[in-house]
Structure 1
Amino acid sequence: MPVVDAWMQHPTLRHSNHEMFDSLRRWTGQGLLEEALPIKATLATMAAADVEIGLSAAWYGPQGPLITNDEVAEFVAQSDGRLRGVAGVDLTRPVQAVRELRRAVQELGFVALRIVPWLWQLPPTDRLYYPLYAACVDLGIPFCTQVGHTGPLRPSETGRPIPYIDQVALDFPELTIICGHIGYPWTTEMIAVADKHANVYIDTSAYAAHRYPRELVDYLRGRGRRKVLFGTNYPMITPAQALEHLDDLGLDDETLELFLHGNARRIFDL
């Protein structure tokens, strides 16, 4: 069955070798990269797990970009249609950030915006986000963000679904919000927020299938089948690793199709 990866990135050396990912390298056993990862390596890893489309994101942080929008655009151009761009922006420069988001969508063809709150140590309710939410609605694109604890060596508070995602969804009911990384250890909160708001979704990035919390599996099997998207957080986890124990979840064919690609195609308008 074809797969869409809702959360991945083709890394630069600035991104993959950053000190804040020391904890992830310790968990995964991955070392520092000595040279930039070629795009063909990412495409081969995707093909090995039948990933047809990967939503490859830029990374912008307080100390500067780790993966720029223009770098992502170049990766997309080299991918033979396998990658779609997800924009990043400098959150602390709101006017320039909105202009850059519009450029990424209207000129580069990007399909979403992603901001990782722990990177800025600012929760999604901070006023600096709000012009970008309005721009996302105006551009007709989803806002992607991280929920749950922080694997990298940064504080986790910004990843709480309640009150942060709940409040943003109340303030911007037209905004589509995709919450990556499941929300653990606040998974039940994340499910409650997704149930409450029509335009709030969950993606499973950063977790292999055998590590999905039980409450998320139950949600995916039932009322949440149109609310959960597959993601990897590649290159930290490869698609093959993330999908290895998928059959153990006991998903029916309709749920499997929605989870692996149907929901993402609909929500990102792929």
Structure 2
Amino acid sequence: MDIVDVWAQQPTERFMAAPWLDTLLRWTGISRQTPTVEQNLAAMDEAGVSLALLAGWHGPTGSLISNDEVAAVVAAHPDRFRGVATVDLADPMGAVREIRRCVGQLGFAGVRVVPWLWNLPPNDRRYYPVYVACVELGVPFCTQIGHTGPLCPSEPGRPIPYLDEVLLDFPELTVIGGHVGYPWIHEVLSLATKYPNFYVDTSAYVLHRLPAELVDFLRGRGRDRVMFGTNWPMLSASRALARIDELGLDEQARQLFLGGNARRVFRLAAD
């Protein structure tokens, strides 16, 4: 079965040195050693992952994983990876130009901004040029929802009112909320019910620990609105998927969750 991982990164030494990784490293038991592309590919192969979306990271302190570094990995393995662009929210026009370059020239499939990294919720005015560029270019905007693993404020990841206002202001914008959205899972599902252009991914969660409400949504009316993700290297696909049978998905829901929704929403050609 086709499996697409919609939330991953190929870390740099700058990324792995970030002090906010301390809690994630403690929870996951991994070291600060920078994983290689070969380790990433081996982990994908072990779980049968066909394609992973690799995102850049840029925060207030500067670049942690640049778009060009992502592009180099994608260029070396074009059949296994696609890029997701990062931007500098402090430079709105530069962000727009960078999205146009990444999508138009490098073939990136989306844009991702992590609100807790900036301590800015997604309805902040600095995001709005980014949303316009995403709509113009027809690519999804990916963001984190829910509490933070790092010891940073969780409030920017609260879905309502922040994402609610964005989805009202940009009805043509496709938004994908990563990391499930706990503890505000009912807010997440209310947005997914209200807005046909809002999706959820399960990155950072092993599947048997997903909130029961999200599993019910995935089994039924939300089967075309939830995508699989890992948050590699913090979580491997094989560990995340180990108990997928416990979700009780029928064949259609399983296919859409693991790859079909991602292929459609990110406009990823099937092999």
**TM-score normalised by the shorter chain: which range applies?**
over 0.9
Query: Match for 2:2: what amino acid?
Result: P
> Which whole-Å deviations, capped at 9, do the CAs of 1:113-168 have from their partners, x for residues lacking one?
00000000000000000011011000000000000000011100000011111110
Which residue is 1:236 aligned to? 234
Gapped regions of structure 2 (runs ≥ 5): none
Separation in structure 2 between the aligned mates of residue 39 and residue 255 of structure 1, nearest angstrom: 31
1:47-126 aligned within 5 A: 47-126=45-124
Secondary structure at 1:51 match in 2: coil
Query: Match for 2:37: what amino acid?
Result: I
Separation in structure 2 between the aligned mates of residue 77 and residue 104 of structure 1, nearest angstrom: 13
> Which whole-Å deviations, capped at 9, do the CAs of 1:59-115 have from their partners, x for residues lacking one?
000000100000000010122410000000101100111101111111111010000
Q: Shift of residue 37 of structure 1?
A: 2.7
Could you tell me whether the CA contact under 8 Å between 1:117 and 1:158 is conserved in 2?
yes
Asked if 1:17 is matched to 2:17, the reply is yes
Query: Match for 2:92: what amino acid?
Result: P
Which residue is 2:139 aligned to? 141
> Which whole-Å deviations, capped at 9, do the CAs of 1:29-75 have from their partners, x for residues lacking one?
11211xx4321111111111111010000000000010000000001
Query: Match for 2:252: what amino acid?
Result: E
Query: Match for 1:236: what amino acid?
Result: M
Could you tell me whether the CA contact under 8 Å between 1:39 and 1:78 is conserved in 2?
no
Query: Match for 1:65: what amino acid?
Result: S
- Residue 181 of structure 1: which of 179, 182, 187 is its match? 179
Q: CA RMSD in A?
A: 0.7
Query: Match for 2:61: what amino acid?
Result: Q
Asked if 1:195 is matched to 2:190, the reply is no
Moved beyond 3 Å, runs of 4+: none
Query: Match for 1:24: what amino acid?
Result: L
Could you tell me whether the CA contact under 8 Å between 2:56 and 2:86 is conserved in 1?
yes
Separation in structure 2 between the aligned mates of residue 193 and residue 142 of structure 1, nearest angstrom: 16
Query: Match for 2:13: what amino acid?
Result: L
Which residue is 1:218 aligned to? 216
Gapped regions of structure 1 (runs ≥ 5): none
